[in-house]
Structure 1
Amino acid sequence: MTHSQIMRALSGLLLALLVAILSSTIVSNALPTILADLDGTQGQYTWVVTAMLLTSTATTPIWGKLSDLFSKKMLYQVAIVIFTLGSILGGIAQSMPELIAYRALQGIGMGGLQALVQVVIAAMISPRERGRYSGYIGATFAVATVSGPLVGGLIVDSPLGWRWCFWVCVPIAVIAFVVLGRTLHLPVLKRKVKIDWLGATLLVGGVALLLVWISLAGKDFDWVSGTSAAYLGGAIVALAAAVYVESRHSEPVVPLRLFRNRTFTLSVLGTLAVGTAMFGGAVFLGQYFQISRAFSPTHAGLMTLPMVLGLFLSSTIAGQVISRTGRTKPFLIGGAVMLVVALGLLGTVDHTTNLAWMGVMLAMMGIGVGCLMQNLVLVVQNEVPMRDMGSASSVITFFRTLGGSAGVSALGAVLAAQVATNVSDSLAKLGISGGPSAAGGGSLDVGALPGPVQEIVRAAYGDATGTIFTVGAVISLATLVAVLLMREVPLRTTLDLPEEPGPALERDRADYART
């Protein structure tokens, strides 16, 4: 494909990816209004987000495996259709259980869109040239992450109402479907199809139990309890059974042989921390600016622009340089160091931190994530054959999302505990007993609290935010160690790896020698 053909196909891919990421962030500012309209509870509030994240994470490896067996273009269009259907139904939901179910359907489509964009690009472009295009993916992530809360807030405040938070993505998804139909032309590999449905079921079930446990533990039940043991035990049993089945199937959903590759295994380890930083930054920074600094949702979204700009510039510039030099390791090491330093500095944040300095730290975090996010996928794609491209790419995406969802839940528990401690200590100094309940029962509607209590709660949230970023810095050390241990392999200029020596190749060589 020529550069112009690639750009036309890429426009459809990125449009679909844009609406997928946008859909997961656009409802954040609309959820209070949605809950009031549909008579929802606090537990259902969590599940509107968790349902989509759970299904998108759990189905990512399955989409990747299917792309190794079927037409990548057809699968991408199927993912768009599933996502669009979920969006339309979400907008007409009449109750919270309905909305949660439709968000889960959206998540299935979103999992396909996130996983398959990497696979389709790998089928069009060689690793050496892929860097210059991977920057566009990073830019799309950045734009969707920052614009989602802003657009959602504007829609809710307009005469359109919250239902258009779901419907606004539909026209863009339809355009992406049409553009891909006209511009994306990939060869379809014809071979016998044998899908490991038992392994896929066990994998989805195990991951689902794990994510449900992480999402609910500490809120609906204690981390150390019989319920926790049941969830965690069930997840371990299901995943262990999945590994057993996968190791014996001819077409496993996640080929275990991939983990024999050192680069692949280290990339999986490294991308877990990147997911925690990327998702955690979006979730907790918005809370910091709104609760601790008393900014509006729109203002809070604007305050994260330095991080988005850093991610956009670093992913774009790194991609261009990598395409020219064929080397990825300098950017991986530089990005990992920058991420550790940025999160370490953010660990000093409190409710009085200078906002200009905050912007510098956020820009540094964005630069680190931008250098790592796409390039960890790129180094894996450079070392696997085309027959495993879908599985390998989707597994990396899967672990990044898993790291994000698990990290956000765990860091959220740390934040809640630290806020409770800070509030209790501040109230005790004033001679008030009762812990956080005396400060409004832990309500996030800080503006409704009395003036002195408002100051205590805002300070508690601001000071606790530094703690979770310190934890994030420790986690990101794993990424730094992983990229340091990676071997430097120049990016190949071909779509597929050369054929490995074997009986068939040796026979061909012998025939050639005789002739």
Structure 2
Amino acid sequence: MAQEVSTQAVNPAPGEGQNRQAVLAAIGALLLGMLLAALDQTIVSTALPTIVSDLGGMDHLSWVVTAYLLASTAATPLWGKLGDQYGRKKLFQAAIVIFLIASALCGVAQNMPQLIGFRALQGLGGGGLMVLSMAIVGDIVSPRERGRYQGLFGAVFGTTSVLGPLLGGFFTQHLSWRWVFYINLPIGIVALLVIAAVLHIPASRTRHTIDYLGTFLIASVTTCLVLVASLGGITWAWGSAQIIGLAVLAAVLLVVFVYVEQRAAEPVLPLKLFRIRTFTLVAVISFIVGFAMFGALTYLPTFLQIVHGISPTISGVHMLPMVLGLLLTSTLSGQLVSRTGRWKVFPIAGTAITAVGLLLLHRLDESSSTGEMSAYFFVFGAGLGLVMQVLVLVVQNAVSYEDLGVATSGATFFRSIGASFGVAIFGSIFTSRLEDMLTDALAGRSVPSGVGPGQLAADPRLIAELPPALRPSVLHAYSSSITDVFLYAVPVVVVAFLVSCFLKEDKLRGSVTAPDPTETLASNPVHRSSHEEVARALSVLGSREGRRKIYEKITERAGYDLLPAASWLLLRIRRHGIVEPALLADSTLVPLRVITEAARQLEERGLARREGLDLMLTDRGMETAVRLAKAREDSLAELLGDWWGPERPTDLVQLVRELTAELCGSDQERPNGPQPRRDHSA
């Protein structure tokens, strides 16, 4: 028996053929990979004004962000399926290499077209880092522990949302904007080396018919439309052959995309989802939320640095109220939905508050105080947070189990596309208004040679060369050009508010009330299969319950009056055949006193008998243990709602049984060594 407990303690099922230290090292490297991709969504924003001043081309500012978003959005589903088919370790290493090469190239870019092209390549690698890092967690840890580890990845997004703007400003101010990209190199190299050394994924391959054509077509349609939005009226006139040609090409490609997707074996965006009213409404709202969020994130630092003369680092500090508002209400709304099951109020309130926040941002000017700006930023972020968390839960609740994975990725896909459009359209409005307003501000004024409206629009640093009497009017032109963008966004968000009112508030399944921050804060679409999504959610819910609560619940459900620790011990004996209480206390986090009391109750009730120092089950005890395990299985199945119907899929049945065995049959044991603080919860 001692050998049996010891063997289990050395390797508590983190992953086949791996010890716990290797798993933890691999998780650390995966977190570094996720950190790279998550950080690059936010770290660039506070560096953008300096980048465009250095390289020239304020009218191309939006494309530094848009190129990354478009590439990562298009690449995400491909990385996921290629990883399933050819092995995730090699693909993850390839994604890191692509990301690092692109980061180095971004750092040495000499003009805006180069930087934009290298950012697209960086987005290609970033999409792989996102999807594969979370998928690999499912390969190397058991379903029971998956929620805990994937929660760390969610925490990375929360942390980078706060740190990204600060770090971007710090590097720009104290080193160079190029360090915004160079910082990725040492982090990525460490991740690459650790992954090569310690990550061993069990060999398994899933064959896919990869929809390369569908991916290419949807990326092409989106790119054409974003080009129309960003170049129309600026580079080319709205009625020009180029803009009309791009619009016609987008329409033709969209028709071809619909034709291809109807016939694809595994479509990148299944069109049948649009027959579900809730999915269609959520897609519209998600698009608009991404539109507003990333558009504002891109241009607010520009407002702070140019109009208010705030340093890049401090502009990152000024952005914190918006980020904190988003994180606060996102977390709060998720918790309230989990507890009450009511959710419709959140998208309605969130879109309404977001519209109010945009109106407040429009009121900002060069004389606005820090307190006023912080308050307005907070309101805007709070509105976004209220709606973002709930949308994923709503769409998951509206679809069948078979469509759970593609529906989740579909909803987050539209948010990503909306982000691309938001940045491009905000940039188009800003650029088109800026030069006109600068021309008006300088009309009839004496300006230094070589400092005209075009030059000032391309390089804001030239404002310092203007006579003091001219600067206020130029700053006002910049201020109005940026804040007017927020006014134009208000009607778009009002559409999301109206659409939210048409959502039908169906009762939530228990398994969808475990939201994942990676599904709400990431700019990339989330790509997980239905099985992976349910495993993550049930794991999160299991870890939230706590061990004592789990055993109280299943004991009551099975109709027994036992101590929670007695139920735990009963299931442990069933798993191992015989158990010696003293050895069990040494190899688990449950104190000997609690185990002894539980053992005494089992013996008194005839559920277990002692042979020497060992305990083994009686026939009655075995019957009780089986009923307790069945009670746990039923409680998990209850969370799945109508997914657990008569026609439930085989893989769902297997998942529930696997989780039941892990949650009921083996609590987490610790390896031999110094004794940790013992858990008295059981």
Instruction: Please list the CA deviations of residues 180-208 of structure 1 after superposition, one character each: whole Å capped at 9, or x if unmatched.
Output: 997998996x6542122222222222222
Deviation at 1:319, TM superposition (A): 2.7
- Partner of residue 510, structure 1: none
Alignment partner of 2:244 out of 229, 234, 248: 229
The corresponding residue for 1:268 is 283
Unaligned runs of 5+ in 2: 1-11, 15-19, 512-533, 536-639, 651-682
Q: Out of 101, 105, 113, which is 2:121 matched to?
A: 105
> Residues 45, 463 of structure 1: CA spacing in aligned structure 2 closer, same or farther, 3 A cutoff?
closer
TM-aligned CA distance change 1:81 to 1:340, over 3 Å: same
Match of 1:469 in 2: 486
Q: CA 1:466 to 1:208, structure 2 compared with 1: closer, same or farther past 3 Å?
A: closer
Find out whether 1:456 has 2:473 as its counterpart: yes
Worse overlay, 114-123 or 411-420: 114-123
Written as runs of structure 1 = structure 2, the 5 A alignment for 1:75-474 is 79-91=95-107, 99-114=115-130, 137=154, 140-141=156-157, 143-158=159-174, 161-173=176-188, 178=194, 192-385=207-400, 387-426=402-441, 437=452, 441-442=456-457, 443-445=459-461, 446-474=463-491
Deviations 1:403-438 (A, max 9, x none): 122122222222334444544555569899xxx946
Query: Aligned pair count?
Result: 495
1:214–1:363 CA distance, 2 compared to 1 (3 A): same
Q: Deviations over 1:133-177 (max 9, x none)?
A: 87974x644543453343234334556x55443231234445666
Distance 1:302 1:26 in 2: 13
Q: 1:79 offset after TM fit, Å?
A: 3.8
Report the Cα distance in structure 2 between the residues aligned to 1:481 and 1:184, rounded to whole angstroms: 50
In structure 2, relative to structure 1, the CA distance for the partners of 1:149 and 1:222 (3 Å cut) is: farther
Paired with 2:51 and 2:454, the residues of 1 have a C-alpha distance of 26
| Deviation larger for 264-273 or 97-106 | 97-106
SS in 1 for 2:643: coil
Letter in 2 for 1:473: V
Q: Deviations over 1:83-122 (max 9, x none)?
A: 2343245446677766544322211122344556787899
Q: Specify the alignment match of 1:512 in structure 2.
A: none
Native 8 Å contact 1:68 1:387 kept in 2: no
Query: Secondary structure of the equivalent of 1:498?
Result: helix
Q: CA RMSD in A?
A: 4.3
TM-score with structure 1 length normalisation?
0.79
Q: Report the equivalent of 1:511.
A: none
Alignment of 1:1-80 (within 5 A): 15-28=32-45, 48-63=64-79, 79-80=95-96
Give the unaligned 5+ runs of structure 1. 506-515
Once residues 195 and 77 of structure 1 are traced to their aligned partners in structure 2, the CA distance between those partners, rounded to angstroms, is 21
The one-letter code matched in structure 2 to 1:477 is: V
CA contact (8 A) 1:73 1:186 kept: no
Displacement of 1:387 after TM fit?
4.7
**Counterpart amino acid of residue 301 in structure 1:** G
Residue 498 of structure 1: aligned partner: 643
Shift of 1:342: 1.6
CA contact (8 A) 1:116 1:394 kept: no
Letter in 1 for 2:509: L
Native 8 Å contact 1:60 1:398 kept in 2: no
Q: For residues 7 and 367 of structure 1, do their structure 2 counterparts lie closer, same or farther at Cα, with a shift above 3 Å needed?
A: farther
Measured after TM superposition, the shift of residue 467 of structure 1 is 2.3
Inter-CA distance 142–343: structure 2 relative to 1 (3 Å threshold): farther
1:228 is matched by which residue type in structure 2?
A: I
Change (3 A) 1:256 1:217: same
Aligned residue for 1:334, secondary structure, equals helix
Q: Find the aligned partners of 2:496 and 2:327 in 1 and give their Cα distance.
A: 20
Compute the displacement of 1:245 (Å).
0.7
* Structure with bigger gyration radius: 2
User: 1-side partners of 2:496 and 2:446: how far apart?
Assistant: 45
Aligned counterparts of 2:437 and 2:423: Cα–Cα separation in 1: 20
**Aligned AA (1:262):** R
Residue type of the partner of 1:463? S
Residue pair 2:83, 2:132 contacting (<8 A) in 1 also: yes
- d(CA) in 2 for partners of 1:163 and 1:428? 36
| One-letter amino acid matched to 1:482 | V
Please tell me the residue identity of whatever aligns with 1:254.
L
Residue 56 of structure 1 deviates from its aligned partner by 1.8
Give the whole-Å Cα distance in 2 for the aligned partners of 1:96 and 1:428. 29
The CA distance in 1 between the partners of 2:218 and 2:138, in whole Å, is 25
Residues 1:479 and 1:347: Cα distance change in structure 2 (over 3 Å):
same
Q: How far apart, in 2, do the equivalents of 1:42 and 1:470 lie?
A: 21
Q: Secondary structure at the match of 2:470?
A: helix
User: In 2 relative to 1, CA 499–347 (structure 1 residues): closer, same or farther, beyond 3 Å?
Assistant: same
Alpha-carbon offset, residue 23 of structure 1: 2.2
User: Percent of aligned pairs with the same residue?
Assistant: 38
Give distance in 2, aligned partners of 1:363 and 1:32: 22
Secondary structure of the residue that 2:35 maps to in structure 1? helix
Residues 230 and 428 of structure 2 are in contact (CA less than 8 Å); yes or no, is this contact kept in structure 1?
no
Q: Secondary structure at the match of 1:451?
A: coil
